[in-house]
A and B are shown apart, each in its own frame.
Chain A
């Protein structure tokens, strides 16, 4: 599979449950290692000796923020990644502040993650990865379980970030809202690649891969 994502692009990776989306995501930063074949990220092969650099470049936001936020306070959790990269002192403090500010959660600095609402936890989870200053942000189902307002707030945050984003989702309107480009992953291969608007307008293509637009949803501005 060859997947090329340009710097600064926001790409949606679409596919039904069980298409291998999460598996692909796990390969991207070497959590899973390829059974056969190799994974190369930004020219760097994913190998034992490059893992640290790969994980700095590729930031993964997991689906369940409770899995991602494992430290006793938000501050320590956001600091965990950069501290593992060897960042200390004032620079660490700056990264924690910056990351939380970018997701609008600076006031939760000293709170325990389990006292935050689900939407807030998802935003802090994004911050924990931003603090590592990754080149590409990979989000697994970012809109799942969010209420409409949290969903919109997260979209605003993601739009305001100046990093490359790969978003794994089956929330098609969300993909349309945030990503110019979309890929369909089906049975472990990329089945389609193109502008999100065109892909979502192709009803036959969608249904072939067990995808469909929600009831009552039409692509704004498209002829029907």
Chain B
């Protein structure tokens, strides 16, 4: 059995950040992202402060920078887009190192890059300090529709099972001399994918029967008490709170 595909992003630990109830962290990360997005792109200093705030969170949570950096590859498509903007942008142009770049495009690229990076880092920190399952329980506490939470929960549980099944099907194909090399082999792979879908669907039915036979009536019983104290909400509120303060300064000045 694969030893937990979804633990690669979670970094078990016992820091004050790890100990916060998941719903506090979820809400704090979301609020922080909203503040970041609401910040005018010309207010460059604010983004530096936001980055510093995240660095403090990472330090308190004992998440090393390398860990965060490696998981930031998810941002690559945005970076490509942001880099393209100054080149294809219209309007006033400036000369930078022999390249003619659009000023408006530069600002737009900076805007996307800065905001996306801060958002991704905040999410990586959230995921690194919170078990996936706790994230879902937190979402449940925050009144995310239970059906969505249940779907995500089953995905988490059966990911390994389905991947394992996929691997077995590949081994079965290859042991009979099939290796997918070019387009002509796509139909075979597609049929395997179809078979995998059917198998997963059937498993879903069996799981549902197993749930029914243990008294399932449409909602998951809430077993773990995840109540957060006022103090914990206060600590979690520090990140978006301080960010909001910085944003406020822009309008005051």
A interface residues with partner B (beta carbon < 8 Å): 26, 29, 31, 52, 55-56, 59-60, 62, 64, 66-68, 70-73, 76, 79-81, 83-85, 92, 112-115, 128-129, 132
Contacts and interface: CB of A to CB of B under 8 A. Distances in A.
A114 B160 contact: yes
B19 to A, nearest CB: 16
Contacts of B158: 66, 70
Interface residues of B, number: 27
B157 A72 contact: yes
A85 B215 contact: yes
Contacts of B133: 72-73
B203 interface: yes
Interface of B: 1, 3-4, 133, 153-154, 156-158, 160-161, 203, 206-207, 209-217, 220-221, 223-224
B215 A132 contact: yes
Contact of B157 (A31, A70, A132): A70
14 contacts: A26-B209, A31-B213, A60-B210, A60-B213, A62-B209, A67-B206, A67-B207, A70-B210, A71-B153, A72-B153, A80-B216, A80-B220, A85-B215, A92-B223
Contacts of A71: 153, 157
Nearest to A85: B215
A55 B154 contact: no
A66 B223 CA distance: 21
A84 B3 contact: no
A52 B4 CA distance: 35
Interface of chain B, main secondary structure = helix
Of the candidates B156, B210, B212, the one having the most CB atoms from chain A within 10 angstroms of its own CB is B210
B203 A81 contact: no
Contacts of B161: 66, 114
Nearest to A112: B4
A70 B215 contact: no
Contacts of A31: 209, 212-213
B213 A115 contact: no
A83 B220 CA distance: 9
B156 A76 contact: no
Closest 3 CB pairs of A and B: A83-B221, A84-B215, A81-B214
A132 B214 contact: yes
B151 to A, nearest CB: 12
A111 B157 CA distance: 12
A73 B134 CA distance: 11
Given A72-B133, A114-B1, A79 B210 contact: no
A29 B213 contact: yes
A129 B214 contact: yes
Contacts of B154: 70
B83 to A, nearest CB: 40
Contacts of A55: 212-215
Contacts of B207: 67, 70
A25 B210 CA distance: 12
A62 B206 contact: yes
Contacts of B220: 80
A89 B25 CA distance: 26
